[in-house]
Amino acid sequence: MIATQVPNSAYLILAAILFSIGVGAFLIKRNLITIFMSIELMLNAVNLTFVTFAHMWHQVSGQIFVFFVMVVAAAEAAVGLAIIIAIFRTRQTLNVDQIDLMKS
Q: Which residues, numbered 4-63, are part of the site for other proteins (CB under 8 A)?
A: 4-14, 16-31, 33-34, 36-38, 40-41, 44, 47-48, 51-52, 54-56, 60-61, 63
Neighbours of 27 (CB within 10 A): 9
Size of the site for other proteins (CB under 8 A): 74
For 28, 90, 98, the CA distances from 103, given in Å and listed in that order, are 21, 16, 10
Smallest gap from residue 101 Cβ to other proteins (A): 15
Judged by CB under 8 A, the chain residues 61 through 80 that form the site for other proteins are: 61, 63-64, 66-68, 70-79
Burial of 75 (0-12, 13-18, 19+ CB in 10 A): exposed
Q: How many Å is the Cα radius of gyration of the chain? A: 18
- What is the rounded end-to-end Cα distance, in angstroms, of the chain? 65
Smallest gap from residue 68 Cβ to other proteins (A): 6
Choice between 78 and 101, CB closer to other proteins: 78
If one asks whether residue 85 binds other proteins (CB under 8 A), the answer comes out as yes
